Amino acid sequence: MATSASSKLNKAVKQQYMNLPQGDKAQAMYIWIDGSGEGLRCKTRTLDSEPKTIEDLPEWNFDGSSTYQSEGSNSDMFLIPAAMFRDPFRKDPNKLVLCEVLKYNRKPAETNLRQTCKQIMSMVENNHPWFGMEQEYTLLSTDGHPFGWPSNGFPGPQGPYYCGVGADKAYGRDIVEAHYRACLYAGVDICGTNAEVMPAQWEFQVGPCEGINMGDHLWVARFILHRVCEDFGVVVSFDPKPISGNWNGAGCHTNFSTKEMREDGGLKIIEESIERLAKRHRYHIRAYDPKGGLDNARRLTGHHETSSIDEFSAGVANRGASIRIPRSVGQDKKGYFEDRRPSANCDPYIVTEALVRTCLLKEEGEEPTDHSK
């Protein structure tokens, strides 16, 4: 099974150096989304002391021509610190810093979807929108083959792997456990994890998070997973259909509620929101993967616990629907609903923004409304 050369380096030797004191200085790893809208980049700078708030972190810059974000003739891009977490790899007092990217003219880069999301979330603060996102992913060897699968064939058919236990059912649990603990240390609102339907496929859940925090926490959880996998010498894929054929794809089911939905009689508000979502299916499909729906077309087939990409559907406890109302919500007449359409490689900023636009700002039509005017 192919693992990376870096993972074979002597980690005990590295630890000698990591145990050295660093004085009063702190290392801050700046993280940003690159021009693909899916990839993450990072680099580190030294600070004179441990930063206590986001205001303590200086702006920085990078070469956008090497990250699919600008041309070489005008390549400087700005990194604007947006959210700060503890660093589980270097440990305290060091930090992970999620950044927004601005172009040379101080306007958001094309894949900086955070700025608009933050503006939309600020318009609905009094509604207290809560989100919980279920991030599915697949572990791969460095040659792109699913982790633990036979090199010249397939494992047994789906059935025993979901929430499975045992060496023949759970592939790569060490990575899952390491990621979970690293997220807790960092301060990411991770709330659970489980093995998924396809072998070498797993899921972690982040939430409930209010407003812009959902996107911040999910992107940092993804970054931590990439780094943990790097240490183990394997690759994490968020592709929505990594293996074609009779295998489940990977989504990022998004649970959503507002203060009104969570209060008595909230089911009526949930049903009204679903009616609005039904009229805006194509807008949401375009927002729910980085390629405007093309990635999800491979996953949303109407099979393998998905709805058809061409049709909107909703139902209680129905995992083959676009929108699922949990059975307990149907009984309690309040709570939340689950949008099962977002792909595993979605940008959580635009997914959460789209839900707020349709359900709370009551937008209609194929295009988002410009609220900046």
According to the 3-state scheme, what is the secondary structure of 150-207? CCCCCCCCCCCCCCCCCCCCCCCHHHHHHHHHHHHHHCCCEEEEEECCCCCEEEEEEE
Whole-number Å distance between alpha carbons of 97 and 60: 11
How long is the chain? 373
Radius of gyration (Cα) for the chain, nearest Å?
A: 21
pLDDT digits (tens, 9 = 90+) for 85-111: 999 999 999 999 999 999 999 999 999
* Residues 357 and 303: beta-carbon distance below 8 Å: no
| pLDDT band at 372; cut points 50, 70, 90 | confident
pLDDT at 247: 94
The lowest-confidence range among 42-51, 145-154, 181-190, 203-212 is: 145-154
Distance CA(44)–CA(28), nearest Å, equals 5
Q: How confident is the model at residue 260 (pLDDT cuts 50, 70, 90)?
A: very high
pLDDT at 318 over 90: no
| Rounded-to-integer distance, Cα 277 and Cα 338, Å | 12
Q: How many CB atoms lie within 10 A of CB 207?
A: 21
The 3-state DSSP composition of the chain as helix, strand, coil percent (nearest 5) reads 30, 25, 45
CA dihedral 342, 127, 211, 327 (to 10 degrees): -40
Count helices and strands (H / E) in the chain: 10, 13
| pLDDT tens figures, 296-314 | 999 999 998 899 999 999 9
Residue 57, pLDDT above cutoff 80: yes
Q: Where are the alpha helices (DSSP H) in 97-158?
A: 114-123
Residue 104 CA to chain centroid, in angstroms? 27
List the structure tokens of 160.
């025993």
CA atoms within 13 A on the CB side of 324: 17
Res 286: pLDDT: 97
Q: How far is CA 176 from the centre of its chain?
A: 15
> Residue 226 corresponds to which tokens in the numbers above?
């990439």
Question: Mean per-residue pLDDT for 173-185?
Answer: 98
Q: Which pLDDT belongs to residue 276?
A: 97
Sign of the C-alpha dihedral computed for residues 204, 210, 215 and 217 taken in this order: negative
Which of 29-33, 211-215, 366-370 is predicted with the least confidence, judged by mean pLDDT? 366-370
Query: Has residue 284 got a pLDDT over 90?
Result: yes
Mean pLDDT of the chain: 96
Report helix, strand or coil for 373.
coil
> For residue 319, is pLDDT > 90?
no
| Strand, coil or helix: 79 | strand
pLDDT at 72 over 80: no
DSSP, collapsed to helix, strand or coil, labels residue 64 as helix
Q: What is the pLDDT of residues 8-44, one digit of tens each?
A: 999 999 999 999 999 999 999 999 999 999 999 999 9
pLDDT tens column, 104-128: 999 999 999 999 999 999 999 999 9
Q: Is the pLDDT of residue 73 over 80?
A: no
Q: Are 236 and 139 in contact (CB under 8 A)?
A: yes
pLDDT value, residue 338: 97
CB within 8 A of 118, min separation 6: which ones?
Answer: 212
Provide the pLDDT for residue 305: 87
Neighbours of 161 (CB within 10 A): 23
pLDDT of residue 297: 96
Q: In this structure, what DSSP letter does residue 240 have?
A: S
Instruction: Check if the beta carbon of residue 360 is closer than 8 Å to that of residue 129.
Output: yes
